A = this chain, B = another copy of it.
């Protein structure tokens, strides 16, 4: 299973991360090191952004086959603040117009000395596919892959929980809503299990549950009141209509009544519980505005941590590739 998701593929021969395709297969130590470096890059709004030259001279290409302003800008700012040059490829006006294959686009950019590809796609498999075809000095970052994986989102959720709630071992985290179609649930759930979360709950209607065997170790609930009871962290998910065959069959109001994170439902969680949402929110559907904008919401903190996490990941993989290059040069020299 780990091979399928690219978990082995993302390491070099010394076992160092050179891509970030998935959080599957990362050790607790590795996750904690990434979170520690991300924490180093965290700033409070109003402060000057963090800035160093970890990526000076490097070129990062954002390839978004599925539109996402927030994630694209988050990666763009992360790379820019580390001193990289960034190019954005608008793939509606791209060479796809002329029928060029994705791999030809990658080879082309790689020949222009692009070092890091940040990729988002509505279909599964592209990041690992590309990672199999690039040379050792090129890295691939998965910025969202169908319903499968969104590793930097998993890391930023973990960082947010660690900042607000401390030690994972004593926490109960409830992921609520459209789990079936959520790459966020899969990556955040994986991060939390690896980091030793006390209890992970997957709370959804039967029709929106994950497949059996996914996120083993989590407890499943098909009732929101039960699933949320006593939780320290409530993670609402976006209803992913664009990934549903019968999207119209979901009535937003009805969903909100039974499955929405409302202040009433949040009252069943532990006092002081925090609420997360990966954004963009369907306000009034999976979450109500009083919760999203209320004192228990950590949603803006998630976004803030997102840039820091992406800086940490970029700095780590570029440093690892650099270390490998030095070794390769030494062997050749």
Question: What's the least CB distance linking A246 to chain B, in Å?
Answer: 19
By Cβ-Cβ distance, the 5 closest A-B pairs, closest first, are: A100-B280, A111-B303, A46-B137, A69-B94, A67-B93
**A28 interface residue per 8 A CB criterion:** no
| Residue A89 is within 8 A (CB to CB) of chain B in the complex | yes
A93 partner residues in chain B, CB cutoff 8 A: 67, 69, 90, 92
* Chain A contact residues, majority secondary structure: mixed
A43, B136: Cα distance in complex, Å:
16
User: Is the CB of A294 closer than 8 A to any CB of chain B?
Assistant: no
The answer to whether A301 touches B111 (Cβ under 8 A) is yes
Complex contact A49–B45 (CB within 8 A): no
Distance in angstroms between the alpha carbons of A136 and B48 in the assembled complex: 14
- Chain B residue contacts of A286, Cβ below 8 A: none
Residue of B nearest to A293 (CB): B107
- In the assembled complex, A2 has its CB within 8 A of some CB on chain B: no
Docked pose: A76 CA to B61 CA in angstroms: 12
With A45-B137, A67-B94 given, can you name 9 additional A-B contacts, CB distance below 8 Å? A46-B325, A48-B58, A69-B93, A73-B109, A98-B280, A100-B280, A101-B283, A107-B303, A111-B303
Residues of A at the B interface (CB closer than 8 Å) are: 43, 45-49, 51, 57-59, 61, 67-70, 73-74, 76-77, 80-81, 85, 87, 89-95, 97-101, 104-105, 107-113, 135-138, 238, 279-283, 300-304, 306-307, 325
- Smallest CB-CB separation from A292: which chain B residue? B104
Closest to A110 in B: B45
Tell me the complex Cα distance, A283–B104, Å.
10
Contact status A304-B45, CB under 8 Å: no
A68 proximity list for chain B (CB < 8 A): 95
